Every structure is written in C-alpha cells, then in structure tokens.
C-alpha cells in the first residue's frame, strides 16, 4: 500500500525481483511491473541516492 502511494506521487520505489514461480515474490514483481526500479546490484541503490 505504501509503495503504491509512493509510485502515484512519483516518488522513487525500489524492489528486488524474485522468481516468477514463487508466490512470495509476487509483491515485489508487481511493484516492478507498476513502475518500481528493480534492484539487481548494490550499484542500483547507490545510483538512486546519487552516492
């Protein structure tokens, strides 16, 4: 819910993708589908915060 509100407000949302065949990965994968930036490496997080 909070992440969806952040996406609606054009705020940055990061999510770690999971296996598509695992039910517990559905939330993160849905966030990415909705516009969250996937985190694939630590560099992705650092770039988001311009470090």
Q: Which residues contact 10 (CB under 8 A, 6 or more apart)?
A: none
DSSP-derived pairing of the beta strands 14-15 and 37-38: parallel
Write the DSSP symbol of residue 36: P
Full pLDDT tens readout for the chain, 51 residues:
788 899 889 899 999 999 999 999 999 999 999 999 999 999 999 998 886
Instruction: Supply the pLDDT for residue 4.
Output: 82
Whether residue 12 contacts residue 35, with contact meaning beta carbons closer than 8 Å, is answered with no
Alpha carbon distance, N-terminus to C-terminus of the chain: 28
User: Which residue(s) pair with 15 in the sheet?
Assistant: 38
Angle at 3 between CA 36 and CA 33, to 5 degrees: 35
């Amino acid at each position: 819910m909070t992440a969806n509100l952040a996406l609606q407000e054009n705020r940055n949302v990061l999510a770690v993708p999971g296996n598509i065949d695992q039910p517990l990965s559905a939330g993160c994968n849905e966030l990415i589908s909705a516009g969250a930036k996937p985190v694939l490496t630590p560099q992705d997080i650092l770039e988001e915060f311009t470090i």
